Amino acid sequence: MFFKNFKIKKTILFLLLLLIMPITVHAYSDYIIPGGENIGIELEASGVMVVGTYEVGSQNPASEAGLKVGDKITAVNETAVTTINEMVQAIDQNKSKGEVEITFVRGKDTKKTTLKLYQDKDQVYKTGLYVKDRITGIGTLSFIDPNTKLFGALGHEIIEKSTGQMLEIKDGKIFESTVTDIVPSENGTPGEKNAKYNYNQVYGSVSENTEKGIFGTYSSSLPDKKQYKVAVPSSIKLGKATIRTVISGNTAEEFEINILKVNENDKTKNILFEITDDRLLQATGGIVAGMSGSPILQGDNMIGCITHVVIDDPKRGYGIFITNMLEEAEN
């Protein structure tokens, strides 16, 4: 009888251990909708970014206050601000005092300083600050998960040019954009897509800006097109593949590439490839700004998307594994 009870207890213990052991289960779908469409992107910062300073007469108020490019202003006289309009209103309410208390974030530290307000020759109060609270640009949609409606784009982070820092965002959106022309890449000089925006045709909301791309929820109707199997890195083969991107108007097209190397030890530069499609090379000279996020397909599999160009040889570039992006989208 003791032996039977012992066996039961061992079985229960084993089952309990199984239940408490961590099990990694991915929520993303086995098949996803590849993008390739050109998109407009607008991101709202989580605070007001200092992107420059200027002198008012012979004074430089921002420098006197110790404010620097890259600082993020979060409050004026203890009133929280997340937009330029909120900041201006808070300053206007206190301008008669000739100064305001500024709360700002620098790196991981929150600090406070006193910002003096100076009047110019027209008796207008000036802060000496150039600030920004949002970024607008273009990129390429990478994928939509048909089950969760999560989307990913770009394959890399969005950086504010003036500060060189990754933008911490409050929210954002993606919307329709149309490629109007392309400035081709040359050795040492990456080109770019030029596009016009249609802010009224919103595709989705952005919730994350990370080193592996921007991610959010797709709110428009799902595109009616073929779904591709999510490729695990070990299944990717050297040799022929295609990328999907827009070079004119709104239509995404496929172009041939050659995969040269696969690297599973990097976070974003996982796939080294070269463009072999003559029509794409004639149109773009290689990879151009705005192609970031363009899906990389191999057979019926989606294996990744474009992230970087090799500056000295723009026919070559890097892509991130699609699994890396999908895992990031889940977080």
- Which carries the bigger pLDDT value, residue 271 or residue 4? 271
- Which carries the bigger pLDDT value, residue 19 or residue 226? 226
Rounded to whole angstroms, how far apart are CA atoms 245 and 250?
Answer: 10
Indicate the residue type of 144.
I
What is the rounded average pLDDT of the residues 122-140?
89
Band the pLDDT of 57: cuts 50, 70, 90: confident
Question: Which candidate, 90, 94, 74, 91, places its Cα nearest to that of 82?
Answer: 74
What pLDDT, on the 0 to 100 scale, is given for residue 3?
34
What pLDDT, on the 0 to 100 scale, is given for residue 47?
86
Active-site residue identified among 133, 142, 145, 156: 156
pLDDT of 232-241, one tens digit each? 999 999 999 9
**Over pLDDT 90: what percentage of the chain?**
76
- The sign of the torsion formed by the CA atoms of 256, 259, 264, 269 equals negative
What pLDDT, on the 0 to 100 scale, is given for residue 163?
82
In the residue annotation, 207 being an active-site residue is answered as no
Rounded to whole angstroms, how far apart are CA atoms 149 and 100?
Answer: 45
Band the pLDDT of 168: cuts 50, 70, 90: confident
What pLDDT, on the 0 to 100 scale, is given for residue 174?
98
Rounded to whole angstroms, how far apart are CA atoms 287 and 319?
Answer: 12
pLDDT of 89-112, one tens digit each? 999 988 888 899 999 999 889 999
Active-site residue identified among 29, 142, 185, 292: 292
What's CA 220's distance to the chain center, in Å? Answer: 19
CB 72 within 8 A of CB 105: yes
Instruction: Name the DSSP letter for residue 30.
Output: S
What is the rounded average pLDDT of the residues 68-94?
92
Work out the number of other CB atoms within 10 angstroms of the CB of residue 140.
26
What pLDDT, on the 0 to 100 scale, is given for residue 118?
86
Rounded to whole angstroms, how far apart are CA atoms 266 and 207?
Answer: 24
Does residue 5 have a pLDDT over 50? no
What is the rounded average pLDDT of the residues 314-325?
97
Cα–Cα distances in angstroms (integers) from residue 167 to residues 85, 208, 288, in the given order: 19, 10, 22
Active-site residue identified among 220, 248, 277, 313: 277
What pLDDT, on the 0 to 100 scale, is given for residue 26?
63
Residues whose CB is less than 8 angstroms from the CB of residue 224 and which lie 6 or more positions away in sequence, other chains included: none
Q: What is the mean pLDDT of the chain?
A: 90
What pLDDT, on the 0 to 100 scale, is given for residue 144?
98
pLDDT of 245-287, one tens digit each? 999 999 999 999 999 999 999 999 999 999 999 999 999 999 9
What pLDDT, on the 0 to 100 scale, is given for residue 25?
55
pLDDT of 175-216, one tens digit each? 999 999 999 999 999 999 999 999 999 999 999 999 999 999
In the residue annotation, 308 being an active-site residue is answered as no
What pLDDT, on the 0 to 100 scale, is given for residue 12?
44
Indicate the residue type of 326.
L
This prediction has a pTM of 0.85
